[in-house]
């Protein structure tokens, strides 16, 4: 009781989430679709401790203060608030104490944080599960996904397993993600080309806030549901050529919004564009691979399992590519120990 450990994978969006209808509740402007990234794992332990005077956050073995710690504390406030709701409604003795307690949070990634590998998605998914279990809350998958969404929108997609859709919903209750196919439905790979960043990019929370300043955002949002339907059916039919076209188009539409926002968000580096050109050419020559890019310079090359070794080999020699990481399709967030 009061302590639990959970694990979650980051996810890569195949149909992107960009812009919120409600910035505080992180209710998205459009639905999105992703796959979890097997092999990349965030492991988080939460312990509510009567001896603490404030929340403590340890990331990768080091205590963190400032904005990162405040964001986690604000997130834990949601868990504490849920705990007191349960106490009020069912008078649960299990959870009665926790609404007043601070927590010790220890989180580590088995991959480099801050390299643009979506650690906020796996981080808040693992935190939602570990904190709610430590607090004695027994949340179902949809409730957990909603909770994770409050920490980082895309984190709601790291709660269910495999291929995951976040139907945007209308309000806090209806905005959560669900799995459309398990991880073993289709053995795709995400071969990530990590590219050097000279300047710290604008984070996605700030990015969502300026999405509506782009005149292209309305057109992107208006057509997102159609692209999502195409991507969903390509996944269900394991149709790689159909998936490749819509995944590249959707990523380019998001970046079209980013580079026409005010302020301008230009995440691409020269090597980002070099990889995009290379992969398009490889696909024309018969390699089953396509690109998608998040709010950073790295390029995620989505490909079939048999194409992955060749894709990784070729990416390693593209100038400006610093490292190549291959991941498969991952399962859901899960507890590895709890009371
Ligand atoms: O969850 P956030 O607020 O970090 O936003 C994620 C935004 C993108 O990664 C660019 C797209 C997505 O759908 O994951």
Quick check: bond before 263 cis, omega within 30?
A: yes
- Give the distance (Å) from ligand 1 centre to CA of residue 179: 18
Residue 173: other Cβ atoms inside 10 A = 10
Q: Does pLDDT of 301 surpass 80?
A: yes
Residue 233's Cα: distance from chain center in Å? 22
Nearest to 120 by CA among 47, 17, 31: 17
- Give the distance (Å) from ligand 1 centre to CA of residue 167: 15
- Give the distance (Å) from ligand 1 centre to CA of residue 187: 23
Residue 90's pLDDT band (boundaries 50, 70, 90)?
low
For 232, the token pair is 């969903």
- Give the distance (Å) from ligand 1 centre to CA of residue 118: 8
- Give the distance (Å) from ligand 1 centre to CA of residue 158: 12
- What are the tens digits of pLDDT across the range 310-328? 999 999 999 999 999 999 9
Residue with tokens 């990784």: 312
Which residue's CA is the closest to the ligand 1 atom numbered 10? Answer: 294
- What are the tens digits of pLDDT across the range 56-78? 999 999 999 999 999 999 999 99
The answer to whether 185 and 239 are in contact (CB under 8 A) is no
- What are the tens digits of pLDDT across the range 165-218? 999 999 999 999 999 999 999 999 999 999 976 556 788 999 999 999 999 999
Which residue's CA is the closest to the ligand 1 atom numbered 8? Answer: 294
Helical (H) or strand (E) element with 204? helix 204-210
Could you tell me if the CB of 253 is within 6 A of ligand 1?
no
Could you tell me if the CB of 332 is within 6 A of ligand 1?
no
Could you tell me if the CB of 99 is within 6 A of ligand 1?
no
Specify the ligand 1 atom closest to the Cα of 208: 3
pLDDT at 92: 62
The answer to whether 48 and 71 are in contact (CB under 8 A) is no
Specify the ligand 1 atom closest to the Cα of 153: 1
Could you tell me if the CB of 294 is within 6 A of ligand 1?
yes
The answer to whether 127 and 138 are in contact (CB under 8 A) is no
CA distance 85 to 77: 12
For residue 23, count CB atoms less than 10 angstroms from its CB and return exposed for 0-12, middle for 13-18, buried for 19 or more. exposed
Which residue's CA is the closest to the ligand 1 atom numbered 4? Answer: 204
- Give the distance (Å) from ligand 1 centre to CA of residue 18: 7
- Give the distance (Å) from ligand 1 centre to CA of residue 154: 5
- Give the distance (Å) from ligand 1 centre to CA of residue 121: 8
Query: Candidates 228, 295, 298, 300: which one to mutate for ligand 1, based on the most atoms within 8 Å of Cβ?
Result: 295
Residue 99's Cα: distance from chain center in Å? 28
CA dist 38 to 67, 110, 162, 284, Å?
29, 11, 9, 28
Could you tell me if the CB of 152 is within 6 A of ligand 1?
yes
φ, ψ of residue 151 in degrees (nearest 5): -85, -45
Write the DSSP assignment of 39-80 as a string of letters. T--EEEEEEEETT-SS-EEEETTEEE-THHHHHHHHHHHHHH
The answer to whether 181 and 235 are in contact (CB under 8 A) is yes
Decide: helix, strand or coil at residue 315.
helix
Could you tell me if the CB of 17 is within 6 A of ligand 1?
yes
For residue 176, count CB atoms less than 10 angstroms from its CB and return exposed for 0-12, middle for 13-18, buried for 19 or more. buried
Per cent of the chain over pLDDT 90 is 88
- Give the distance (Å) from ligand 1 centre to CA of residue 309: 27
- What are the tens digits of pLDDT across the range 21-47? 999 999 999 999 999 999 999 999 999
CA distance 248 to 313: 21
Residues sharing a CB contact under 8 Å with residue 297, sequence separation 6 or more, in sequence order: 116, 195, 196, 197, 201, 267, 268, 269, 271, 272
Residues sharing a CB contact under 8 Å with residue 277, sequence separation 6 or more, in sequence order: none
Nearest to 279 by CA among 234, 324, 235, 239: 324
Could you tell me if the CB of 251 is within 6 A of ligand 1?
no
Nearest to 78 by CA among 98, 59, 56: 98
Helical (H) or strand (E) element with 116? none
CA distance 174 to 142: 9
- What are the tens digits of pLDDT across the range 247-293? 999 999 999 999 999 999 999 999 999 999 999 999 999 999 999 99
């Amino acid at each position: 009781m009061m302590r639990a450990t959970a694990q979650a994978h980051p996810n890569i969006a195949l149909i992107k989430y960009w812009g919120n209808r409600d910035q505080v509740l992180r209710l998205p402007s459009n639905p999105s679709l992703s796959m979890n990234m097997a092999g990349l794992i965030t492991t988080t332990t939460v312990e509510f401790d009567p001896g603490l005077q404030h929340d403590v956050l340890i990331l990768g073995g080091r205590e963190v203060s400032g904005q990162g710690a405040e964001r986690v504390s604000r997130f834990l406030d949601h868990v504490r608030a849920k705990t007191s709701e349960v106490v009020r409604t069912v008078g649960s003795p299990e959870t009665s104490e926790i609404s007043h307690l601070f927590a010790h949070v220890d989180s580590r990634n088995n991959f480099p944080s801050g390299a643009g590998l979506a650690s906020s998605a796996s981080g808040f998914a693992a935190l939602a599960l570990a904190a709610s279990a430590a607090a004695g809350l027994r949340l179902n998958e949809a409730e957990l996904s909603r909770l994770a969404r409050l920490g980082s929108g895309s984190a709601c997609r790291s709660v269910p397993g495999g291929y995951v859709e976040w139907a945007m919903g209308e309000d806090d209750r209806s905005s959560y993600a669900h799995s459309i196919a398990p991880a073993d439905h289709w053995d795709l790979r995400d071969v990530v080309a990590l590219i050097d960043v000279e300047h710290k990019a604008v984070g996605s929370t700030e990015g969502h806030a300026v999405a509506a300043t782009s005149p292209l955002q309305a057109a992107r949002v208006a057509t997102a549901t159609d692209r999502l339907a195409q991507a969903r059916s390509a996944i269900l039919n394991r149709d790689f050529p159909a998936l490749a076209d819509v995944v590249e188009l959707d990523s380019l539409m998001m970046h079209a919004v980013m580079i026409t926002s005010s302020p301008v968000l230009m995440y691409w580096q020269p090597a980002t564009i070099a990889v995009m050109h290379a992969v398009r050419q490889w696909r024309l020559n018969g390699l089953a691979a396509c690109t998608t890019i998040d709010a950073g310079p790295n390029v995620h090359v989505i490909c079939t399992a048999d194409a992955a070794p060749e894709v990784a080999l070729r990416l390693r020699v593209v100038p400006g590519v610093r490292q190549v990481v291959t991941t498969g399709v991952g399962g859901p967030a899960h507890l590895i120990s709890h009371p």
